[in-house]
Amino acid sequence: MELLSSSSLTKQRLVAFAVLCLSQALLAACVFGQQPEMPAPKAPPVDARSSGAENASGPLTLQEALALARQNNPQCQAAVTAAGLAREDRTQARNALLPSASYNNSVLYTQSTPFAAQATGANSVIFIANNAVHEYTSQGEVHESIDVAAVANWRRASAAAAIARAQQEVAARGLVVTVVQNFYGVAAAQQKLEAARRAAEEGNTFLKVTQDLEKGGEVAHADVIKAELQTRDRQRALQEAELALLNARLDLAVLIFRDFRDTFEISDDLHAPAALPTLEEFEQLAARDNPEVHAALAATLQADHEVLAARAGYLPSLSVDYFYGIDAPQFAVNGTVGGQKFSNLGSSILGTLNLPVWNWGTTQSRVKQANLRRDQAKRELSLAQRTLLAEMRSLYAEANTALAQLEGLHRSTELAAESLRLTTLRYKNGESTVLEVVDAQNTFSQANNAYQDGAVRYRIALAKLQTLTGVMTP
């Protein structure tokens, strides 16, 4: 339907603006008052010194390494970019529901009819659709469209933004596990290197002891050979420990720094106390802050809105356009005809109501597609909830087991060190054999390595808990 008003009626323009304002208010009340609420994912804690932590002096802490990794890791930044894009999509979908304003200018030159000019004394146009030989249009336009599909698309975009936020959280928490593994891998490699150096020095000392005892006739030459073999094994172990530390440092450097560097030190808190939350606290945090479940919930909401958008194809849509300006044979505010001046300014309103009648079942097909997607989203939500329950038990049991074993591993290291000291003294006094000393040395090395690996395992287990709870244990 189309209504054209007189150019001299100001009241009609006021009525048109009132209609647009009323439609906007009704649309805002219907749409924005029912905006879907999605729980915002909890951001991982960041405790870096500043954005310039890469150039900060002093040992690098774990929190600083995490902050640098979030800034420089491409996968994490890709998730941040995807969340930003989804947020802008939501903004664009929301803006599509609001009135838009534009200003249009056009000039139309048309061939005149000379015979008609001779008969009537005025130029007339050849084409029926043209109003004059020279026609100038300069009008402002306000457009508003009321469509259920646009409302559903906006809500669907909001759910998609929530999914992107949850996936960003998943990427950030997954990065935490990788950083913790590499960070404490460096710390453990440093501890193992120190232990390998001590073992190499003790092997050299023990070789000298056996050589001295052989010169005194107290032990056989076989003891010297065994001690020398053990010393060479310790030297090779030292070289392997140095290589392992180098590789661990390079892996961490590539992960957290924007440019390549290997001249950094880390704050070694591998064996610092780190409390494990209680099972009740862990379950509450995991049920509330798990990003995978948030993403699955948002996907279900998105699928619901897709069904609504598909069903909107059965409903009519209404659009209103209001124009104000000139549409005259002169590009001027005022014109003259027959010596009479008049205003070229005028307004018009165009209202359009589209009624869907027949599209060969396309709308029905879209509804079926949307229902299939919604059913799949519900299945994935159920799977995410079941997976969360299984991961809660598995990860907490892993962390609890690692913590329980850590104390025993530490005690085993102390006992192995004491056994090595006593066995070496007994050998010097002729009360033990060289095989017992070698066995004690091997036992100490194995116990120390197991202790370092156990500490790293516990730290990684705590980091994995963050993938469910979002809380980083200090």
Given a cut of 90, whether residue 369 has pLDDT beyond it is: yes
- Is the pLDDT at 280 greater than 90? The verdict is no
pLDDT > 70? residue 46: no
283, burial (CB in 10 Å: exposed 0-12, middle 13-18, buried 19+): middle
Give the alpha-carbon dihedral of 284, 290, 294, 295, to 10 degrees: -160
| Residue 121 clears pLDDT 90, i.e. is over it | no
Q: Please give the pLDDT value at position 122.
A: 54
Structure tokens belonging to residue 451: 């202790």
Q: Measure Cα distances from 191 to 194, 317, 328, 455 in Å.
A: 5, 71, 88, 11
End-to-end, the C-alpha distance of the chain in Å comes to 68
What gap in Å lies between CA 215 and CA 225, rounded to an integer? 14
DSSP for 212-246, written as a single string: HHHHTTSS-HHHHHHHHHHHHHHHHHHHHHHHHHH
pLDDT of res. 411: 94
Residue 229 confidence (pLDDT): 92
Residue 65 near residue 179 (C-beta atoms within 8 A):
yes
- Is the model's pLDDT at 159 over the cut of 70? yes
- Burial class of 353 by CB neighbour count within 10 A (0 to 12, 13 to 18, 19+): exposed
Q: What is the pLDDT of residue 471?
A: 66
pLDDT score of 365 = 95
Distance from C-alpha of 466 to C-alpha of 454, rounded to nearest angstrom: 19
The mean pLDDT value for 244-250 works out to 93
Phi, psi (5° rounding) for residue 4? -115, 130
Structure confidence at residue 203 (pLDDT) = 87
**What percentage of the chain has pLDDT greater than the value 70?**
85
Cα→Cα distances 268→185, 354, 455, Å: 11, 70, 12
Give the model's pLDDT for residue 114. Answer: 67
User: Are 359 and 310 spatial neighbours (Cβ–Cβ below 8 Å)?
Assistant: no
* Residue predicted with more confidence, 132 or 210: 210
Distance from chain centroid for Cα 122: 70
Report the pLDDT value the prediction gives residue 52, as an integer from 0 to 100.
44
Query: Residue 144 pairs with which residues in a beta bridge?
Result: 320
Which residue would you say has higher pLDDT here, 365 or 279? 365
pLDDT of residue 277: 83
Place 116 in a pLDDT band, splitting at 50, 70 and 90. low
**pLDDT digits over 297-314, tens only?**
889 999 999 999 899 889
Is 13 a residue whose pLDDT tops 50? no
Higher pLDDT, 83 or 470: 83
Q: Tokens 């120390």 — which residue?
A: 448
Q: What is the pLDDT of residue 183?
A: 93
Only one residue has tokens 């664009």, namely 92
pLDDT at 268: 83
* pLDDT confidence bin for 220, thresholds 50/70/90: confident
**pLDDT 10s digits, 371-391:** 999 999 999 999 988 888 888
Each residue of 405-416: pLDDT tens digit? 998 999 999 999
The secondary structure element, H or E, covering residue 348 is strand 345-354
Average pLDDT over every residue of 82-98: 91
Range 198-209 average pLDDT? 89
User: Quick one: pLDDT at residue 29?
Assistant: 41
Mean pLDDT of the chain: 82
Q: How far apart are CA 46 and CA 68, in angstroms?
A: 10
Quote the CA–CA distance of 316 and 405 in Å, as a whole number. Answer: 68
In the block, tokens 């705590």 appear at 462
pLDDT band at 115 (very low <50, low <70, confident <90, very high): low
pLDDT of residue 25 exceeding 80: no
For the chain, list the domains and their CATH numbers.
1-34+105-146+321-355 (no CATH), 69-98+149-315+367-474 (1.20.1600.10)
Q: What is the b/e burial string over 72-110, where b = at least 16 CB atoms within 10 angstroms of the residue's CB?
A: bbeebeebbebbeebbebbeebbeebeeeeeeeeeebeb
Nearest to 197 by CA among 439, 421, 438, 445: 445
- Determine the average pLDDT of the residues in 400-428: 91
Question: Token digits for 246?
Answer: 């180098």
Strand partners, 322: 142, 349
Angle made by CA atoms 424, 428, 434, in degrees to the nearest 5:
60
DSSP string, 288-336: HH-HHHHHHHHHHHHHHHHHHHHHGGGS-EEEEEEEEEEEESSSSSEEE
Residue 289: name the closest of 427, 423, 146, 173 by CA. 173
* Amino acid 415: pLDDT: 94
- If we measure between CA atoms, which residue out of 286, 242, 279, 244 comes closest to residue 387? 286
